[in-house]
A and B are shown apart, each in its own frame.
Chain A
Amino acid sequence: MSGGEKIAVRVTEKTPLNDLVTRFRFEAVDGRPLPTFSGGAHTVVEMKDGDRNRLNPYSLMSDPFDRGSYTISVRRDDAGRGGSKFLHSAVDVGDEITISYPVNLFSLDLRARKHLMLAGGIGITPFLAQIKQLDRSHGHWELHYSVRTESLGSYVAELTAEHPNDVHVYYDDRGQRIDLDALLRGQPLGTHVYVCGPKGMIDWVHRTAEARGWPAEAVHSEEFLAPEPGKAFTVELTQAGKTVEVGETESLLEALERVGEDPPYLCRGGACGQCETAVVSADGTILHRDHWLTEEEKAAGAKIMPCVSRFEGTSLVLDR
C-alpha cells in the first residue's frame, strides 16, 4: 500500500477561476459518500499521462464534513513537473481518475485559543477547509491573505463577503504587505500560527515568529512530502531467477508479489523489519524510505526494505 488507500472519482466540474487557477470537483464513481477529512488535509491525484503516471498532492478545499464531493484548486505551474499543466489541459468533466484517501500533514492544533492563518497565493486552499471546520465548532480564527493582483486573488470575494471582519487581503501590486511583526505582537496567549504559501513566505514566518519568542510548536506550515511512488525500475532476483519491472505506482514488495513471490512482510510501512532483503549488487542509488535500517546501513547499501524503498539506476540485484 505504497500510496495508501485509493478512491476512484469522476470529475464533475471544472471551473477556471482566473488566468492561473482552475477548480475541480470530484465525486466517487461508485456513488458512495467520500471519507470525511480534517481541514488541512490533501489528496494525491493520480494522472495517466500517456504511459506515465503523474502523482500530485493538492489540498482539499471543500467543507471537510461534506461527503458528497471534494474540490481542489490547481494553479498551473509552467515550470513544474507537469501535473498541474496536465490537469488544466487534459482532464475534463466526466473523466475518471484515482485519488488517495485524505492525508493531513497540516492539521489544526485543536488546543489553540485562536488560529492565525497566513496564506500566500494558492496556499489559500487548505485554509478554506479549515475555516469551514472552525466555523462549525465556533472556533476563533483570523486570515491574512497575500495575493499578487486582484484578478489573481482566488476566493477573495467569497471570503471577504462571508467573513468581513476576519479576512484581511494584501495586494502585491499595490505594495501591500502583511505586517507580521505587529500581527504577532498583538495575539492573545494560546494563539497558533499557520502558514501556507511560497517557500520564502514560510521561512519568513518561522524566522520572524522564532525571533519574537514564539514556541516552535505554535507555528505550523504545510509540508508536502513527495508522494511515495517514483520512477519505474527493474530488479533481478537471484534465488527466484526472475527479472521484475517495478511500476511507478507500485512498491517493490507489491511487484514481487505480483510475479508470484511471497517475501515476508508485516507492517508494509518500513517499520517492522520483516521484509529486509540483501542487495547483491546495485548500479545506481537505493532510495531508502524506511525507519528500520540505521543511517549506516542505509549508507552501506547492502540492504533494502522492499515495502517502501525504491531504486534509481541501471541495475539492482537482490538476494530473493
Chain B
Amino acid sequence: MTIQFRDETFRDDYTFRNSRWAIERFPFPFHEDSFMYSVNMEQHRGGPAGSVYEKRFDVDEHYVSEMRDRALVLAEDPLRCQSLPHMTLAGWDLLELIMVAKSEDYPDLFQLHRDGDRWRWVNRPLGIDDTFTFLDDTTLPHGPMEYITRQTQGDFCVLDQRDDNLWMDAGMVTTQADWSLDFDLGMNFFEWHAPVPKAHEMGIFQRALKFLLNIQQGAPARRLNWTMTVNPLLDTSPENYHRWGIQKTTLTPENIGRKQHLRVELQTFFRLPRSNALVFPIRCYLCSFEDLTTVSKWGRRLHRVVRDLPVELATYKGFVDNRPMMLDYLSQFDDGLPTSPGIWPDLETEPPLRMG
C-alpha cells in the first residue's frame, strides 16, 4: 500500500493521531494478561504482512513528522547525537544497512544507486537526492550515522563490542523513555542498565548480554519494551524533564483516554559488518488509551496488566501516581472475559465488550 504521511506534531498542540491502519498494526506488547521482565528476544526475520515486524526498518504514516521533530530536538541540543571517533566506520555500516534495507523494502519511497564507491541516495518522502562517496566523510553534510538517522524513525545506539561487553560509544537519541545518551555515552551494558529494577537479580542482563555478543551478521534479533507517556511526546528525555514531567499531573478522568499513551519500543539488534559493532535501533510507537481500547482484546488485557504490575515496575516506568486513575478508566473495558493468547488483535474472533 502507499503510505499517506501525516502532517502532525509531537509537542505543543500535539496533533499526532493514529489512523485505523496504525491502530490495528500497533505492536501491542503483552502476550498474556500479566507482565514481568524476561529475556524476550527472538529472531528478526520478518513477520505477518503489514505488521511492524515485516520489514527490517518499518516506515509508517508518522515518518515525515517524526523526522521533523528529530530535527527540532537536534537544533536545540546537538548532544543528542554523538559518536566517539572510533565509531565512524560503524556509522558507515549503519548507513549502508539502512539504505540497502529501505531501498529493497520500499522501492517506491527510497532508491539507492551504487557505482563502486559513488552512491546516489533518493529519499522521496523527505525530498532528498544526494550523491556521495561511500566511506568518505567529507562528502556528506553530517557524519554517516547522523546523516542516515535523521532520515530513519527510532533512536539508535551503536555499541562497540570489546572485552566481552558492549559499549555505548555512539548514538542518535531523541525519542527516548527518560534516559540520556550524553550521560550513558561510553558506558557498558551493565552500567547503563543499572537503574532498572529486578531484572539484574533475575539474571536477565547476564543472559541477554551473552545472546547479544553472539548476534551474527545476517541474523538480526528483536524484542519489545514498553512504558507510559502522557501526551504523544517523542522526546521524553531527562534533559527536558522540566517540560514533560509536569504534564503527568494534567491527567483528568475526562482527558485520560486521549492524553494517556502506551509507548512501545520495537528494539532490534543487527551485527554491523565492517566494524563488528552492534546497532540497536529503538523504534517508538505511541497509541492513546482511547484508541487501544477500540480493540476489545487489548482493552481487557491492558486493564489487567496495569492493575497487576509490581509496584517497582510502575514506579520505574513513572506512572505509579497515575495508576489509580488509569485503572478507573481501563476497568470500563474489562468485562472479565478470557483473552486469547498472543499479542495480535484477533478482531474477528475476540468477542466485543459485554457491558452495560
Contact = CB atoms under 8 A, between A and B. Distances in A.
Partners in one complex: yes
Interface residues of A, number: 34
B206 interface: yes
Given A110-B86, A268-B43, A269-B221, 10 more contacts: A38-B276, A64-B273, A101-B219, A103-B216, A110-B275, A267-B43, A268-B42, A271-B41, A271-B208, A291-B211
Given A111-B86, A291-B206, A292-B207, A267 B42 contact: yes
A107 interface: yes
Contacts of B216: 4-5, 101, 103
A228 to B, nearest CB: 10
B38 interface: yes
B218 interface: yes
- Of B89, B219, B274, most buried by chain A (CB within 10 Å of CB) is B274
B273 A37 contact: yes
A273 interface: yes
A267 B211 contact: yes
Contact of A270 (B84, B161, B211, B217): B211
Contact of B276 (A1, A104, A136, A266): A104
Nearest to A107: B276
B158 to A, nearest CB: 12
Given A38-B276, A110-B160, A291-B206, A266 B217 contact: no
Nearest to B90: A110
Contact of A291 (B210, B218, B274): B210
A109 B211 CA distance: 21
B218 A101 contact: yes
Interface in B154-190: 160-163
A35 interface: yes
A36 B274 contact: yes
A59 to B, nearest CB: 14
Contacts of B196: none
Contacts of A102: 217, 273
A65 interface: yes
Contacts of B162: 107, 109, 217
A37 B207 contact: no
B217 A37 contact: yes
Interface string B198-240: 0000000011101100101111010000000000000000000
Residue of A4, A65, A101, A271 contacting most chain B CB atoms (<10 Å): A271
Interface residues of B, number: 31
A35 B87 CA distance: 20
A65 B39 contact: no
Contacts of A267: 39, 41-43, 211, 221
A272 interface: yes
A103 B276 CA distance: 9
Contacts of A239: none
Contacts of A5: 216-219
Nearest to A217: B163
A30 to B, nearest CB: 14
B2 interface: no
B275 A38 contact: yes
Contacts of A271: 39, 41, 207-208, 210-211
Contacts of B87: 110
Nearest to B135: A136
B274 A38 contact: yes
Contacts of B273: 35-38, 64, 102
A137 interface: yes
A1 B42 CA distance: 12
B211 A269 contact: yes
B318 to A, nearest CB: 27
A17 to B, nearest CB: 27
